[in-house]
Each structure stands twice: as structure tokens, then as C-alpha cells.
């Protein structure tokens, strides 16, 4: 789907930036790259542009420009309700964080079941049941 | 020694620059373009250091003027040290620019600015970062002057052993092949050129072609396609991704996020000021309060300056001002006409410029506050979809808003618009926004003729001007100033409390520019207008017998169509030189407020204000427009546009009310 189709509060993982030229390059240098996580923050009161969070900062894009960005909708693990079955699509962190998660059976492609959504969050992975901090759960994206 | 400051926009670069150079700085333009260039000087341990503030950029592609300036400066001027100012609270993206700088230069001092703010977001291992990068990394809080001594120390004594940004093996191999190929061209830094050739960078492509490297470009194109085939994406996306993954990796190596997902103050403020329903009213209210502040605070200063120059008429007589005193004093040793020219012409003109100063300074104070605090970016966010209809990006609202203060700095502020067509469109619309001077005149006239509700009358004129600007902008953008819309990728920085020092420097820079440029023209114009107002010799100054008076009487029959009295016409002619003078001229010609009240009907007064709202911009604005566009044709177009609108509205209003027999 297109970035412009996501609603406020929703997350997407960038698949591709279409187009060429100044806009294309500008989006890239802002860090809108394949694999990056984007959150839709809010829509301007007049309906356009839209504010997005990416890599910890905020940018505003017109809908027409956001439609150059192809995304897959994802959700942070922390937003997933009890008893849902989900699949991990992205872990936002450095090597260390990814390894720590991996040790608990949380890695890209793996399935998880939410035992308790909050607080603390408990998930069942192929390696057993683990407790996750809120900060951690925010950095694991699932579908 | 030459030091260049580089960094993203909104990283506090200018604060560091100010802290390094103090007031020893010079603001100018980069050759041939309208991008601002700041240079300064400092001394570190006895070494004279020239500091250049490079434009804020997110990357170093060849797509914007700022980026081209930055990289050309580094390649051509070869600064001894580059200081990369990084917003530590936005580490990952800021590190991206560093990856590009690393390809251009080896001596880079990394400054983690706003470090206090960053510590609320993550804990950063500065030591480790310095070790990985092989560069000096220091922390700073620019607004508190923290870290400046360390920075100075590193500029002189820093050890540089920079890490190369590495691409995947199959890309590296191809970069190396191009490095070999371009050796005969003798261009440095070779690796950077090779990478840019591979990326198909437009500027580098041109340069290499000029140097006779056509074959190299052909080979590079082949290599580029190979890479694109291997990775299944376009080269720009790929190369940016590779560099970003370096930045990403480094970021996660050195920074441990804390408080992920918490609600920030910025988010809370934005929740209110960009609220679906309250956002726009809050914006209007902030603007209203800002201007109230400007005028309320400026008024006593203006009165004081006016009193000093022009004295005061009271019931018991006239208290002489500087102009009168100096006139009388000079009479002792020079003819009356010369003393009158010097004092009534030029000295009074200087007085006019100075009276205008408090408004200009306060206006820039407020605008700097709004800009430095981060609110101006939200204005662009709020207003974009309206501005887009006028063919402008969201930031196009800023010069238009500035116009309410003074069209001179507003026209200068159109520089923020990159597209030349957009810029001209914005300049053409700007004078239609009533500046502070015109608003003052409207306030004065409204208070005489509509004492029960002068604010409402004033408001009606402001609204009208906005509607006209909007409609005209829409028409222009579809016709004569048609252009492609700029990509609107706007950063919304976190809110920050601006510092007094930062704002003062900002305010001074801009006010000084205005005083120098517009000031000279206004004084000059005052001298010229004296000639027309005081001659033929012996007539009352600006009286119906003077040249201006004669002209006004000659044109009076036309003026009646708009309800304009000859005195009103004279005042408008004077207003061409500086709009605020209109009040004084009316005052002088009629003698008192009461006399003005009896000379015109409220309908005539309103028609007069409508005319004044749009007719030609003042001399200073026109001079600025010409200076910015370097086009006589365009400047003339702006004058014509103004008169056409003035005549249209004034005539329509006056005729309609006469036909309908409306009276107030």
C-alpha cells in the first residue's frame, strides 16, 4: 500500500521509494529508505499535508508526495491485544538488541502469541514465555 | 586557518557559530545565488581562525543550491577542519550527513550539540563514538556556551584517523575501478568523485564530461546498471541505503534509547497548536497577539523619536524639535533654502527612518522567536493546503505574514522559496499585504471617522487584502507565474525555548540590513520629495501651490471618482516615499484631527483607505523588489498591479455606496 493511505497512529515499513529527481532524493536523504519504519502522526487541520515520524524525527509530506512511498502496514508489538498470533517483520535496534530479542525467540519471520498485553507484556515464542518491557515491545514490529 | 561549519538545518549551527566568533562576523551572499553566507573570525591559542558557516543541509546531493554550495566549498576552498554540528537528539539522521562529509574530507570535528536534550532520549557513549569514527567527538550545549572551549581545543589539537564508509564488496570493487579510471583527470577527493560518478550525480557528471571523461562516464553507466541489477533498486536508493545503514549501525552502537514511546512536550504542544479545530484559530490568535505586542511596545519609542525630531504642537504653542532647532541654527551661516533642504528634507527623512526602527526591530524579534521556537514550521504545516492553491509551498505564508510588518524584509524573506517562479509570485503578492505603516495610517483614520469601532474597520481592510492576495495568487499561479510545486518535505523540529542572545543577534542582523538599505533610500527620497514639496520657492511646504500641490490639483478631477480630496491625493504622493507619512501630511494640510474629520465623509475616508491599501508599494519596497529580482519590467508590473487594484476597489466601493445612498 502507499504511505498516503495509512491513517494517524498507524505504522508502515518502507518497501520502495518510487520516482526520480529532487523529491526522490530528498525523501531518501531524510531516511525514508526501504526497511525504515514510519509512523503517521497527524493530519494538518485542512486535510493536507501529513506529519510522519521517521527515525525519531518528524517531517511533513503532502499526500501527493507520500504516495511515492510504498509501505507495508505493521504494528508495534506493544499495540497487539491479548491472545493474538502475529509474525515479526522488523526489529528496530542495533546488533545487540536484535541478538537479545533473538535469544528469546523474537526474530524476523518468527511467530508470537501475546499472553498478556500489558504490563508487563508477556509473549509466547518457540523458545518459551518471556516478559518484555514497554520500550522493547515498541521496537518490535509485527503483522 | 580555515574552519567550516556544516550540519543539518535546526541543529543550532548558528548558535555555535555565534559562540565561536562573537560579534566579529559578516553576513553576505554566496556568489551568484541568494543563499546567505556567514563568515567570522576567532583566535585560538594565538592562531587566527576564519570560520565559515555553511548552509544547513540534510545531504550533499546536487539537487539544492545549499548542497552544491556546501560541497563545492569543501572541494575548492579546502578548509583545514570541518566542524560537523550534529543535533544529538536526532542522531541517526544527522549521522547520515557525516557519512557524506567523511567521503569529502578527513579532518572533521564532530559536535554533539543539544546534548542535554539528547540525554532525555538516549544514553550516548561519546568515547565509543569517537573511537569508531576515528574523529574527535565532543558534546556541547550551544545555547549555554557549553563545549565551545573543547571545540576550540579540538580544532587545533584534534587527532584525525577517520573510518571510511564502506559499501558492500560488489559496490566497492566498482568504486575502485572508477577511482583508477579518473586518475588521469586529477580530481580530488578521488573516492568521492568516483562514488558520485557511480551515483550519476548531475554536477559531477557535467564536470567529468568537461574534463574529457566521456568514456569513464560510459563505463560508469555500465557499472551502475550492474549494481542496480544485483540489488534490484535504483542507484540513488541503494547508495543512500548503504550510507544510512552505516549511520544506523553507528547510532545503535553508541546510543541506547531510553523512554521509548513516551509522550514528549513537543507532541503535547503540537496536539494543541495543530489541532483539527483549534489549530487555525490559535494560529490567527498568535499572529494577532504578536502584532499587538509589536505595536504596543513600539508606540512609545516611536512617539519619543518623533518628539525629538519634530517637536510637538500644543495649545500654547509649538515645542521645537531637532529639525526646527537645527534649521534655525544653520540659518546663521547658510541660505534658508539650503537649511530647509538639509533639515526639512534630509534630517526629517532620517527621523522617519528612525521612527520606523522600533517596529522593524520588534517585528524581527517576534519572528525570530517564532522561528527559533519551532512554531514557524507548524505554520507551514497548517497553511500548506491553502498556500498550495496559490502556487506556493507552506513556507510561502511567512513572507506574506512578514508583509504585515513591513514589505521590505518580507520581499527579502521570499528567498526561502527556492523556485524562481514561486518567488516572483510571492513578491508580486507581497505589497498587497498592508504593512505596519499602512496599518498605522488605517488605525489613525479609522479612529477619526469610525470612533465607535475602529478595530472592525481595520479588520475589514486586513481581511480584504488577504482575500485579494489569495484570489490573485490563485489566478497568477494558473497563468503568468505557473510552475511545478516544490517538493514539500518539511522538518518539524522539536519546540525549543529560544535564547535571548540568539534572538537578539537574529534581530540585529535583519534590522541592520533594513536600516542600511531602506534607510538610505528613504532619506534620499525625502530629499527629493522636499524639492517637489517646497518649490517653487516661497510656497508653503507641501501646500496646494507647491509642485506636488499643483500635480494634485491637476489630477483632482480623476480623484473625485474615488472620493479622494486633493489633500488626500497629496498625502498619497508623499506616501509613495513612506506610507506612514500619510498621517503627517494630512495633519499638516488640514491642521487638526477635527479638520480632517470635517473634510471627508466616512465613505470617502474608507474609499481613501481602500485606495491606499493597494496603490504602489513605497520606494523602499520597490527598491528591494528591484534589488531581489534585478528586473525593471517586473518592478514596473508590481506598481501597475497596485494601481489597478486600488482604482478597482476604491471606485467600486465609492460608486456603489453613492448609488445605494449609503451613509455612515
Report yes or no: A24 at the B interface, CB cutoff 8 Å. Answer: yes
- Which residue from B332, B651, B378, B359 is spatially nearest to B518, judged by alpha carbons? B359
In this complex, do B96 and A29 lie within 8 Å of one another by their Cβ atoms?
yes
pLDDT digits (tens, 9 = 90+) for B314-358: 777 778 889 889 989 999 998 888 888 888 888 877 887 787 678
Compute the C-alpha angle B589/B595/B598, nearest 5°.
125
Residues of A in contact with B63 (CB under 8 A): 21-22, 25-26
The pLDDT assigned to B259 comes to 67
Clarify whether residues B103 and B29 are in a common domain. yes
Residues of A in contact with B234 (CB under 8 A): 20
pLDDT tops 70 at residue A95: yes
In this complex, do B492 and A59 lie within 8 Å of one another by their Cβ atoms?
yes
User: B524-539 burial, b if ≥16 CB within 10 A, otherwise e?
Assistant: bbbbebbebbbeeeeb
The pLDDT assigned to B485 comes to 53
Clarify whether residues B46 and B26 are in a common domain. yes
- For the segment B446-470, the average pLDDT, to the nearest whole number, is 87
pLDDT tops 90 at residue B196: yes
Residues of B in contact with A25 (CB under 8 A): 59, 61, 63, 236, 240
Q: Peptide bond preceding A15: is omega within 30 degrees of 0, i.e. cis?
A: no
Distance between CA atoms of residues B381 and B394, nearest Å:
6
Distance between CA atoms of residues B615 and B641, nearest Å:
8
Confidence of residue A92 (pLDDT cuts 50, 70, 90): confident
Residue of B71, B88, B250, B257 to mutate, interface with A, max A Cβ within 10 Å: B257
Clarify whether residues B55 and B193 are in a common domain. no
Report yes or no: A31 at the B interface, CB cutoff 8 Å. Answer: yes
In this complex, do B270 and A96 lie within 8 Å of one another by their Cβ atoms?
no
Looking at the 3D structure of chain A, how many domains does it have? 2
- Which residue from A86, A72, A73 is spatially nearest to A121, judged by alpha carbons? A86
The pLDDT assigned to B514 comes to 64
The mean pLDDT value of chain B amounts to 86
In this complex, do B234 and A56 lie within 8 Å of one another by their Cβ atoms?
no
Residues of B in contact with A20 (CB under 8 A): 234, 236
Clarify whether residues B151 and B30 are in a common domain. yes
Query: Which CATH number fits the domain that encloses residue B216?
Result: 1.10.287.1770
In this complex, do A49 and B275 lie within 8 Å of one another by their Cβ atoms?
no
Query: Which CATH number fits the domain that encloses residue A84?
Result: 2.30.30.90
Instruction: Choose among B236, B252, B487: nearest Cβ to A95.
Output: B252
pLDDT digits (tens, 9 = 90+) for B356-399: 678 778 877 887 888 888 888 898 899 888 888 888 877 788 78
Residue B75 contacts residue B6 (beta carbons within 8 Å): no
Nearest residue on chain B to A29, judged by CA atoms?
B59
- For the segment B201-206, the average pLDDT, to the nearest whole number, is 93
Residue B606 lies in a domain: yes
Residues of B in contact with A3 (CB under 8 A): none
Residue B71 lies in a domain: yes
pLDDT tops 90 at residue B591: no
Clarify whether residues B147 and B29 are in a common domain. yes
Taking the CB of residue B630, how many other CB atoms lie within 10 A of it?
9
The pLDDT assigned to B91 comes to 92
Q: Which of A30, A49, A74 is the C-terminal boundary of a domain?
A: A74
The pLDDT assigned to B643 comes to 94
Clarify whether residues B572 and B651 are in a common domain. yes
What Cα–Cα distance (Å) separates residue A89 from each residue in A34, A73, B241, B257? 13, 10, 19, 20
- For the segment B463-469, the average pLDDT, to the nearest whole number, is 93
Residue B280 contacts residue A45 (beta carbons within 8 Å): yes
Clarify whether residues B543 and B646 are in a common domain. yes
| Residue spans of beta strands (DSSP E) within B242-314 | 255-257, 312-314
* Boundaries of domain holding B130: 2-157
pLDDT tops 80 at residue B416: no
pLDDT tops 80 at residue B456: yes
C-alpha cell at B62: 546536487
Q: Which of B186, B210, B231 is the C-terminal boundary of a domain?
A: B231
Return the percent helix, strand and coil in chain A, to nearest 5: 20, 40, 35
Clarify whether residues B207 and B296 are in a common domain. no
C-alpha cell at B67: 548542497
* Boundaries of domain holding A121: 80-142
- Residue B43's φ and ψ, nearest 5 degrees, are -125, 125
Q: Which of B102, B130, B157 is the C-terminal boundary of a domain?
A: B157
In this complex, do B241 and A34 lie within 8 Å of one another by their Cβ atoms?
yes
In this complex, do A28 and B488 lie within 8 Å of one another by their Cβ atoms?
no
Q: Which of A74, A89, A108 is the C-terminal boundary of a domain?
A: A74
Residues of A in contact with B86 (CB under 8 A): none
Distance from CA of A134 to the nearest CA of B (A): 8
Clarify whether residues A55 and A14 are in a common domain. yes
What Cα–Cα distance (Å) separates residue B212 from each residue in B221, B430, B577? 16, 47, 56
pLDDT tops 80 at residue A41: yes
- For the segment B641-657, the average pLDDT, to the nearest whole number, is 93
C-alpha cell at B203: 554536477
Distance from CA of B277 to the nearest CA of A (A): 7
Q: Which of A74, A104, A127 is the C-terminal boundary of a domain?
A: A74
Clarify whether residues B11 and B136 are in a common domain. yes
Confidence of residue A2 (pLDDT cuts 50, 70, 90): very high
Residues of A in contact with B385 (CB under 8 A): 44, 46-49
Amino acid at each position: 500500500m502507499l504511505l498516503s493511505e495509512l491513517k494517524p497512529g498507524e505504522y508502515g515499513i518502507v518497501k520502495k521509494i518510487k520516482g526520480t529527481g529532487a523529491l526522490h532524493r530528498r525523501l531518501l536523504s531524510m531516511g525514508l529508505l526501504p526497511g525504515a519504519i514510519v509512523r503517521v502522526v497527524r493530519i494538518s487541520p485542512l486535510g493536507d499535508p501529513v506529519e510522519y515520524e521517521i527515525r525519531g524525527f518528524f517531517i511533513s509530506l503532502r499526500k501527493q508526495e507520500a504516495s511515492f512511498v510504498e509501505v507495508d502496514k505493521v504494528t508495534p508489538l506493544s499495540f497487539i491485544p491479548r491472545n493474538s498470533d502475529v509474525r515479526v517483520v522488523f526489529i528496530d535496534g542495533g546488533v545487540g538488541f536484535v541478538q537479545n530479542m533473538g535469544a528469546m525467540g523474537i526474530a524476523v519471520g518468527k511467530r508470537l502469541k501475546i499472553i498478556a498485553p500489558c504490563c508487563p507484556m508477556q509473549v509466547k515464542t518457540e523458545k518459551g514465555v518471556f516478559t518484555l518491557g514497554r520500550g522493547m515491545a515498541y521496537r518490535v514490529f509485527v503483522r | 586557518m580555515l574552519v567550516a561549519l556544516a550540519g543539518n538545518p535546526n541543529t543550532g549551527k548558528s548558535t555555535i557559530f555565534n559562540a565561536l566568533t562573537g560579534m566579529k562576523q559578516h553576513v553576505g551572499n554566496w556568489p551568484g545565488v541568494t543563499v546567505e553566507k556567514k563568515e567570522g573570525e576567532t583566535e585560538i591559542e594565538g592562531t587566527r581562525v576564519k570560520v565559515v558557516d555553511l548552509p544547513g543541509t540534510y545531504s550533499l546531493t546536487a539537487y539544492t543550491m545549499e548542497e552544491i554550495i556546501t560541497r563545492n566549498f569543501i572541494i575548492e576552498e579546502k578548509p583545514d577542519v570541518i566542524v560537523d554540528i550534529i543535533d544529538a537528539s536526532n542522531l541517526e539522521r544527522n549521522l547520515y550527513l557525516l557519512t557524506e562529509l567523511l567521503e569529502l574530507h578527513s579532518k572533521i570535528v564532530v559536535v554533539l550539540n543539544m546534548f542535554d536534550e539528547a540525554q532525555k532520549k538516549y544514553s550516548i557513549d561519546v568515547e565509543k563514538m569517537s573511537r569508531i569514527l576515528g574523529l574527535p567527538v565532543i558534546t556541547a550545549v550551544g545555547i549555554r556556551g557549553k563545549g565551545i572551549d573543547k571545540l576550540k581545543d579540538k580544532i587545533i589539537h584534534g587527532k584525525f584517523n577517520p573510518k571510511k564508509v564502506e559499501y558492500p564488496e560488489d559496490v566497492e570493487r566498482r568504486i575502485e575501478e572508477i577511482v583508477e579510471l579518473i586518475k588521469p583527470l586529477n580530481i580530488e577527493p578521488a573516492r568521492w568523485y568516483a562514488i558520485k560518478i557511480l551515483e550519476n550525480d548531475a554536477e559531477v557528471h557535467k564536470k567529468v564530461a568537461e574534463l574529457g571523461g566521456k568514456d569513464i562516464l560510459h563505463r560508469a553507466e555500465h557499472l551502475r546498471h550492474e549494481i542496480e541489477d544485483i540489488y534490484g533498486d535504483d542507484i540513488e536508493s541503494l547508495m543512500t541505503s548503504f550510507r544510512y545503514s552505516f549511520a544506523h549501525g553507528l547510532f545503535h552502537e553508541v546510543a541506547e534509547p531510553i523512554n521509548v514511546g513516551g509522550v514528549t512536550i513537543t507532541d503535547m504542544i503540537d496536539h494543541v497548536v495543530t489541532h483539527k479545530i483549534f489549530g487555525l484559530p490559535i494560529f490567527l490568535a498568535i499572529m494577532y497577539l504578536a502584532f499587538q505586542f509589536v505595536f504596543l511596545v513600539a508606540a512609545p519609542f516611536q512617539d519619543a523619536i518623533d518628539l525629538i525630531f519634530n517637536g510637538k504642537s500644543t495649545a500654547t504653542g509649538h515645542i521645537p524639535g531637532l529639525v526646527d532647532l537645527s534649521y534655525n541654527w544653520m540659518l546663521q551661516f547658510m541660505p534658508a533654502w539650503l537649511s530647509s533642504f538639509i533639515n526639512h528634507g534630509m534630517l526629517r527623512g532620517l527621523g522617519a527612518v528612525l521612527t520606523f526602527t522600533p517596529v522593524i526591530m520588534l517585528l524581527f524579534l517576534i519572528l525570530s522567536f517564532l522561528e527559533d521556537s519551532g512554531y514557524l514550521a507548524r505554520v507551514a504545516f497548517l497553511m500548506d493546503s491553502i498556500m498550495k492553491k496559490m502556487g506556493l509551498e507552506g513556507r510561502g505564508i511567512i513572507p506574506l505574514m512578514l508583509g504585515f510588518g513591513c514589505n521590505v524584509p518580507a520581499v527579502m524573506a521570499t528567498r526561502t522559496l527556492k523556485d524562481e517562479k514561486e518567488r516572483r509570485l510571492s513578491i508580486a503578492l507581497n505589497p498587497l499585504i498592508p504593512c505596519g505603516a499602512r496599518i498605522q495610517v488605517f488605525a489613525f483614520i479609522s479612529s477619526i471617522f469610525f470612533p465607535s469601532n475602529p478595530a472592525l474597520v481595520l479588520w475589514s481592510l486586513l481581511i480584504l487584502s488577504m482575500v485579494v492576495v489569495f484570489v490573485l495568487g490563485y489566478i497568477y499561479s494558473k497563468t503568468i507565474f505557473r510552475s511545478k510545486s516544490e517538493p514539500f518535505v518539511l522538518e518539524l523540529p522539536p519546540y525549543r525555548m529560544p535564547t535571548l542572545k540568539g534572538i537578539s543577534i537574529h534581530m540585529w542582523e535583519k534590522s541592520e540590513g533594513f536600516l542600511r538599505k531602506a534607510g538610505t533610500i528613504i532619506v534620499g527620497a525625502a530629499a527629493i520629495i522636499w524639492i517637489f514639496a517646497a518649490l517653487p520657492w516661497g510656497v508653503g511646504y507641501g501646500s496646494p501651490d507647491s509642485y506636488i500641490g499643483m500635480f494634485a490639483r491637476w489630477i483632482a478631477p480623476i480623484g473625485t471618482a474615488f472620493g479622494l480630496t486633493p489633500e488626500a491625493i497629496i498625502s498619497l504622493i508623499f506616501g509613495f516615499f513612506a506610507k506612514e507619512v500619510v498621517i503627517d501630511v494630512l495633519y499638516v494640510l488640514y491642521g487638526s484631527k477635527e479638520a480632517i474629520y470635517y473634510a471627508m465623509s466616512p465613505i470617502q475616508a474608507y474609499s481613501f483607505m481602500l485606495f491606499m491599501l493597494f496603490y504602489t508599494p513605497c520606494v523602499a519596497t520597490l527598491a528591494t523588489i528591484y534589488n531581489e529580482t534585478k528586473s525593471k519590467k517586473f518592478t514596473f508590473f508590481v506598481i501597475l498591479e497596485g494601481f489597478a487594484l486600488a482604482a478597482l476597489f476604491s471606485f467600486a466601493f465609492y460608486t456603489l455606496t453613492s448609488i445605494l445612498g449609503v451613509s455612515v
